[in-house]
Amino acid sequence: MIRIVNVNALTQDLCEAETFARYDTEYRCVMTRTAEELIDAARDAEVVLFTFSAFTEEVFAALPKLRLLVRYGIGYDTVDLAAARAHGVTVCNAPTYGTIDVAEHAFALLQAANRKIPSFDAGVRAGSWGACAAYPSHRLRGAVLGLVGFGRIARNMARIAEGFGMETAAYDPFVSQEDAGKTRMLPLEELLRVSDYVSLHAPLNAENRHLIRRETLARMKDGAVLINTARGGLVDTAALADALKAGKLRAAGLDVFDAEPLPADSPLFALENVVLTPHTAWLTEESLVSLHEEVTDEVVRYLEGKPNLHVVNR
């Protein structure tokens, strides 16, 4: 019997229990928040599903039966991939389930920040007809959207932006101009210099943590707008807040943060030119179903002895 454990059971199973019951498995859902709880819950598991838990060398060493680790989501920066390889664990993610949903949310943040939607809404509710944030709005047609990272989500966002008459450019060292089509591929420094809107779509790793910091913010176009639906660690929050206060950046739209939930003393709360959402860019009814199906499919492949599709530590 193969034991499968979901160690971060955040949502109701949509297909997992019924699907796994067709095989010789034991499936459990628990909520663990510490390494000790994780190890205790998954000690006898051959397959582990997770969302936010950290899988370090210590954790892998304590789970000798573990062979497949699957994340409910795209990013896998909480997993020590080298340790996983050393312990013979295949790590998979779910890279396709919410790509259009995150792109739609990123563009919604761009529009909300640009057109000051939250401020107008607050003004109407407070009885101050016409009151709004002090910074200006601009027409999108003809503006340049710069995409940092040009994977599935960024490409969907580029298609949305083109429908609004925007020009699109991207920085991604792994994508050629031929592969990018209409989107211009640029070095990062040039992308930051020419873009009216910069949207982050890169994975987080040791090399690009705080990619957006004081030095890179200084290179951005005066009055640019920053959007982040990728990973909070890509942005130095204190530096961003200072740039927004000083007017270097006109506005920002953020769905992800260095610390989540966003701490009560975050400087972002005091700024009228930032739109905040709680790491929900992926969340639609359709994407939720797709997420569970994508994770379940990776497990079924393992159970049937087939190659996994979305392995991140080959």
In three-state form (DSSP H/G/I as H, E/B as E, the rest C), the secondary structure along 144-178 is EEEEECCCHHHHHHHHHHHHCCCEEEEECCCCCHH
Residue 279 bears catalytic tag: yes
Active-site pick, 26, 279, 293, 301:
279
Return mean pLDDT, the chain: 97
Mean pLDDT of 293-303: 98
As a 3-state breakdown, the chain gives helix, strand, coil percent values, each rounded to 5, of: 35, 20, 45
Mean pLDDT of 201-230: 97
* pLDDT one-digit tens code per residue, 127-179: 999 889 999 999 999 999 999 999 999 999 999 999 999 999 999 999 999 99
**Which of the pair, 87 or 206, is modelled with greater confidence?**
87
* pLDDT one-digit tens code per residue, 171-205: 999 999 999 999 999 999 999 999 999 999 999 99
Angle at alpha carbon of residue 281, lines to 276 and 283, rounded to 5°: 125
Active-site pick, 71, 155, 231, 250:
231
In this structure, of 12-21, 240-249, 258-267, the range with the lowest mean pLDDT score is 12-21
* pLDDT one-digit tens code per residue, 26-66: 999 999 999 999 999 999 999 999 999 999 999 999 999 99
* pLDDT one-digit tens code per residue, 67-116: 999 999 999 999 999 999 999 999 999 999 999 999 999 999 999 999 99
Helix (H/G/I), strand (E/B), else coil: 301: helix
pLDDT band at 13; cut points 50, 70, 90: confident
Residue 152 bears catalytic tag: no
Residue 231 bears catalytic tag: yes
Burial group, residue 153, by CB count within 10 angstroms (0-12, 13-18, 19+): buried
pLDDT band at 12; cut points 50, 70, 90: confident
Note the pLDDT of residue 91.
98
pLDDT band at 215; cut points 50, 70, 90: very high
Helix (H/G/I), strand (E/B), else coil: 297: helix
99-114 and 117-125 are packed helices; what angle lies between their axes, rounded to 10 degrees?
60
Note the pLDDT of residue 131.
80
| Of 200, 89, 188, nearest in space to 149 by CA | 200
- pLDDT at 14 exceeding the cut of 90: no
Task: Say what percent of the chain tops pLDDT 90.
Answer: 96
152-163 and 99-114 are packed helices; what angle lies between their axes, rounded to 10 degrees?
50
204: DSSP letter = P
